[in-house]
Amino acid sequence: MAMLLYGAGPTYGAVGEVVAFAFVLVGVERVDPSAAGAVAFRPLLLPGAALLWPLVLARWIAAERRARGN
C-alpha cells in the first residue's frame, strides 16, 4: 500500500499543477465572478489549488453547469 501511495504522489502533483494553472487562468472568474480583473492575488491561489485540485475541479464543473442552466 505504501508503494502504491508513493507512486501515486507524482501523478497527483502533476494533475494538480495542470488543474491549478488552468483554474487560475480561466476558472477563477467562473467560480467567483467578483474575482474578475483581480490578477494580483491569483499566484497566491496556485499552491492551494494544486493541493486541493479535486475540490477545485468539482466546484469549477458545478459553476459551469450552473452557468449553462443544467
Question: Per-residue pLDDT tens for 18-59?
Answer: 999 999 998 888 888 888 888 888 889 999 999 999 999 999
- Amino acid letter, 35: A
Q: Total structural domains in the chain?
A: 1
Q: How confident is the model at residue 70 (pLDDT cuts 50, 70, 90)?
A: low
pTM, two decimals, is 0.81
Burial of 65 (0-12, 13-18, 19+ CB in 10 A): exposed
Provide the residue range defining the domain that includes 61. 2-68
Instruction: Check residue 20 and give its pLDDT.
Output: 96
* Nine cell digits for residue 27: 476558472
Instruction: Check residue 47 and give its pLDDT.
Output: 94
Separation between Cα atoms, residue 15 and residue 34, nearest integer Å: 27
